[in-house]
Structure 1
Amino acid sequence: MIRPRPTLLAAALTAAALSGCALGPDYVRPAEQVGLPAAYTEQAALPTADTPALAGRWWSLFGDPQLDTLVDQALVSSPDARSAAARIEEGDALLRQVNAALLPQVDANAGVSRSRTILPNANPPSGLVRTTDKLGLSTSFELDIWGKLRRASEAARAQALGTRYASETVSLSLAASVTQAYLNLRAIDAQLLAVRDSVSSQARSTQLARIRFDSGYVSQLDVQQAEGALATYTAAQLQLEKSRALAENLIGLLVGQPGLRIAAGDLARLPVPPVPPTGLPSALLEGRPDVRKAETDLIAANAKIGVAKAALFPSITLTGSYGRESRELSDLFSPAAMVWSVGAGLTQPIFEGGRLRAQVDQISAQQKQSLESYRKTVQTAFREVNDALVAVRFNGEAEDAYSTALKAAQSALKLAQARYDSGYSPFLEVLSAQRTANDATVAWVQNRQARLSSSVDLFKALGGGWQASAQLAGGAQQPR
């Protein structure tokens, strides 16, 4: 038996010893290059609290079982959610494909060939027909001396992890969209409740104006004003009913259930989620899936530099085969039919016009772009949290003023109606009070919706809600 030369074995062992190194920079999180303050600007004057635990099902903080059901359905049945799940499967498959290069490739070979060779010295010239049967195994394996394969695996692993974070981003955005659409639906319900009360009240006022006109107590002007106001409120009711149907259609699309119908509810009964703890640390941004996705993109780009640099250095490939070959099928498994080979090959780029170095520069530039994208993502997230904190605070402070205005407008409407019924004031005074009360109701509803929506924006900006030690803040009931 022919044995491999010692030089071949020595080369293989040397290559294996060198395979522990990996070209390219090792990843280090660029925390100091992002430049964020320790706490958010909106709460900079407040003491820094311990980092609160984020709640995954943050929408449950609104205490509405209908909303919980809708969000859960959207996260399962929405086409966006299913597409994101498919991208995770794609990323996992790519990682397995890249990692397969770290293992030897073994192929089975089997074949039969028949050939004819001319024998020129024969008289007369004739041909020799030969049949060859082959059966064996062959393998090839590239030694990862410079870490090219390991860096490629590192990049693929980061990309596969990034698909999961991208899926979480989709889920977070989807839950926020469903919640915002649901709050909009409940705001329409609240306005519908108010305008229906106005229609009912105006219908009674119109009937009273006609009776008083028939009795000669008022002029035709009061009747026409009352009928005009009734028609206006009826048209407003129809517009709100149309808006509600469109809002239902939007929610049905988000949850993957076209034609969905949702029973009426009351925005005022939704509790206001707990206020964020004082001194929220900016480290909470690390939990945002889009920030994590941006970091995995940076990790992948960093690893690809090592892949590009390894292409500048020699690559060593080990090959081998083992099998049997014979001219007769019956002799294929005889001892004399055994064949084998062991080899090693080295490839070193000599001249390629600077293509490989240009590729290194290209990948390095892409890594710089990924770094800037990561920095922008973190800074944008910081701004979104600050904006949401501002909205939460000011919308909460404004609700007391809107509640006071609504109570005053409703009291004025009752007084104006009583004065008109007693004949002390014209009907125009009732119309003005009714319009003011409706405007105050709409303003209160819109501010309550904005207050709840700003909480949704804050949950989304932080990547989740916080665990509050106290009970949920009770929702202030709409003044009646």
Structure 2
Amino acid sequence: MINRISPLAAVLALVLAGCAVGPDYQRPASSLPKAYQESADPASTIDREWWHAFNDAELDALVERALKDSTDVRIAIAKVEQADAVMRQAGAALFPEFDLGASANRGHISQLTANPPGASTLLTTNSFKLALSTSFELDFWGKLRRARESALASAEASRYARDTVRLTLVSQVASAYIGLRSNDALLTATQATLKTREEAFKIAKRRYDSGSSSRLDLEQASTSLASARAQFATQTQARALSANLIALLVGDPALVPGSGTLDSLPVPPTPAPGLPASLLDARPDVRQAEAQLAAANANIGVAKAALFPSISLTGNFGGQSGDLSDLFKSGAKIWSAGAALDLPIFDAGRRSAKVDEIRAVQVQALETYRKSAETAYREVRDALVTATQAAEAEKQYGEALESARQVERISRARYEAGSAAFLELLDAQRSSNDAQIAFVKARQSRLVAAVDLYKALGGGWKAAK
């Protein structure tokens, strides 16, 4: 047993002693600031289920269904499984391959040849063979190890690509759901506007019939009412399209989301100044770009190893006999051992050109990683500014809405008392309707800005306790 193990141990020692050519991966230095001036605690972490911050059971259910049934997610998962299989193949190349071969043959030779067989020659013969064979490439230069390193990084990149798909999908579902609730709010507002326009038309008609107002007031009231009805039809269409979009994202074309209110969705908090830029490490697209860079870096070693000689070991051990019963006897033993050397002599620069090609690919991956990090940093800054300003805009539009409603109430009382023209009431109603729409849009923008901030941060943040 000792004699059998020693050669294998010697081979493994030679393999482990070999060097791995090519550069070892090191994360590139970042020139980005350490924190965002526009915006949590340096100990902040990422909340992976950030959509729960909106405290909406229907939204939670829609996100869960989308993550389960979305075609894009299933494709991304299949790509992860593919990358894992490639990684296992690369890892298996580091170990010897053993194959068991068996054969059985029975043959008969001719007696009518130019040199017929002698009287003692067996005309019919049997041959049985059973042998275990192996082959193994010694990884002196680290080609196989670098290939496995590249496959590991590529598998990791596929996982980050899957996470990017999930993050994008959840963001789309959340934004579409906010849009749906915004349409519900606009429909409610339009219904209220429609009701006031109908009442104003009745008042104008009553005053016209009594002779206390002109035909102009009645026509203006009729025009205003028709506009409100058209607005209601437009909002109904927009609501249906939003529902269809959610059904598509969730993966259920027959889904019909229920109605709700925009006010029921709380606005998630925004981080305080000093949000660490290190949170970019949670961005799956940035991590994917870095993993692809690591894979490209390892491929340089694979290409450089091709410039050096490769050594392969082969072996065969088994038995061969004319009778099956003799196959395992000592006299039937067969074996062979060999080594092969493949030394590049002349290839007109093909291998060195391959190294240059892989180096160029690595440079591209490096710049792609840097660009993705810079883009992510800008997106977070934009999202922080948008979230802050959207909150201020909602506040101002809310104040404008209250003022517009007060003006409408005063104008209505003045018109009913006969101290104001209908045009004054009409303008007040239009201003109130416009202010209501602007306020709903502002709240929608603020909620969507929160979604964009969570997405930009790779899934939100959560201050450590």
TM-score, length basis structure 1? 0.90
Matched, 1:104 2:100: no
Distance 2:282 2:59 in 1: 24
Contact 2:44 2:464 in 1 (8 A): no
Q: 1:88 aligns with which of 80, 85, 88?
A: 80
User: 1:15 — aligned with what?
Assistant: 14
Question: Which 10-residue stretch deviates more, 248-257 or 330-339?
Answer: 330-339
1:164 Cα shift?
A: 0.8
Aligned match of 1:314 in 309, 313, 316? 309
2:33 corresponds in structure 1 to 37
Specify the SS of the correspondent of 1:454: helix
Matched position secondary structure for 1:258: coil
Structure 2 distance, partners of 1:343, 1:123, is: 36
Deviation at 1:122, TM superposition (A): 4.8
Structure-2 separation of matches of 1:121 and 1:234: 109
Letter in 1 for 2:79: R
Matched, 1:75 2:71: no
2:144 matched to 1:149?
yes
**Structure 1 residues 468 and 306, CA, compared in 2 at 3 Å: closer, same or farther?**
closer
In 1, Cα distance between equivalents of 2:309 and 2:364: 29
Displacement of 1:220 in angstroms is 2.0
Deviation string, structure 1 residues 284-343 (Cα, Å, up to 9, x no partner): 101111111001000000101111111111111111111111233343233211111122
Match in the other structure for 1:477: none
Contact 2:136 2:312 in 1 (8 A): yes
- The CA distance in 2 between the partners of 1:11 and 1:207, in whole Å, is 102
Q: Distance in 2 between matches of 1:51 and 1:79?
A: 36
Q: Which residue of structure 1 lines up, in the alignment, with residue 24 of structure 2?
A: 26
Whether the 8 Å contact between 2:289 and 2:369 is mirrored in structure 1 is yes
**Match for residue 221 of structure 2?**
226
Asked whether the equivalents of residues 188 and 240 of structure 1 are also in contact (C-alpha less than 8 Å), the reply is yes
Please, what TM-score do these two structures have when normalized by structure 2? 0.93
Q: How does 1:42-441 map to 2 (within 5 A)?
A: 42-43=38-39, 49-113=41-105, 114=107, 116=109, 121-122=115-116, 130-441=125-436
- Conserved 8 A contact 2:43-2:464: no
CA separation of 1:97/1:435 partners in 2, compared to 1, >3 Å: closer, same or farther? Answer: same
Residue among 432, 446, 454 paired with 1:451? 446
1:109 corresponds to which letter in structure 2? Answer: G
In structure 1, how many angstroms separate the alpha carbons of the residues matched to 2:117 and 2:350?
59
> How far apart are the structure 2 equivalents of 1:298 and 1:172?
22
Change in 2 beyond 3 A, CA 1:414/1:335: same
Provide the rounded CA distance (Å) in 1 between the counterparts of 2:322 and 2:83: 48
Q: Percent identity?
A: 49
Asked if 2 retains the 8 angstrom alpha-carbon contact of 1:51 and 1:280, the reply is: no
Would you say the 8 A contact 1:180–1:453 is kept in 2? Answer: yes
Q: Would the alpha carbon gap of residues 203 and 155 (structure 1) be closer, same or farther in structure 2, given more than 3 Å must change? A: same
Tell me, in whole angstroms, the C-alpha distance in 2 between the residues paired with 1:307 and 1:319. 23
Are the structure 2 counterparts of residues 384 and 286 from structure 1 closer, same or farther at C-alpha, using a change threshold of 3 Å?
same
SS in 2 for 1:102: coil
Q: Report the residue type matching 1:15 in the other structure.
A: L
* Counterpart secondary structure, 1:197: helix
Quote the offset at 1:268 in angstroms: 2.3
**C-alpha deviation, 1:105, in angstroms:** 0.9
Q: CA deviation at 1:207?
A: 1.7
- Structure-2 change in CA distance of 1:52 and 1:13 (3 Å): closer
Letter in 1 for 2:165: V
Query: What is the distance in 2 between the residues matched to 1:38 and 1:9?
Result: 52
Relative to structure 1, the CA distance from residue 432 to residue 383 in structure 2 (aligned partners, 3 Å threshold; closer, same or farther) is same
Distance 1:124 1:322, change over 3 A: closer
The answer to whether the 8 Å contact 1:78/1:255 transfers is yes
Q: Is the 8 A contact 1:98 1:156 kept in 2?
A: yes
In the alignment, structure 2 segments of 5+ residues that lack a partner are: none
SS at match of 2:22: coil
C-alpha distance in structure 2 between counterparts of 1:9 and 1:108, whole Å: 19
Which region of structure 1 is more displaced relative to structure 2, 58-67 or 379-388?
58-67
- The one-character-per-residue Cα deviations of 1:4-51 (angstroms, maximum 9, x if unpaired) are 9x9x999957733533x2111100100x2x3111122434xxxx8423
Matched residue, 1:474: none
SS in structure 1 of the partner of residue 316 of structure 2: strand
1:174-193 superposed Cα distances (whole Å, 9 cap, x missing partner):
11000111111111111111
Distance 2:71 2:16 in 1: 50
CA contact (8 A) 1:168 1:289 kept: yes
Aligned equivalents of 2:118, 2:463: Cα separation in 1: 103
CA apart distance, 1:132: 2.5
Q: What is the identity, as a one-letter code, of the residue corresponding to 2:17?
A: L
SS in 2 for 1:464: coil
Aligned-partner Cα distance in 2 for 1:11–1:49: 55
1:278 CA displacement? 1.6
CA RMSD of aligned residues (A): 2.4
- Verify the 8 A CA contact 2:38 2:273 in the aligned structure 1: no
Contact 1:181 1:250 in 2 (8 A): yes
| Cα distance in 2 between the residues matched to 1:11 and 1:204 | 98
What is the aligned length? Answer: 459
Counterpart-to-counterpart distance in 1, 2:166 and 2:245:
17
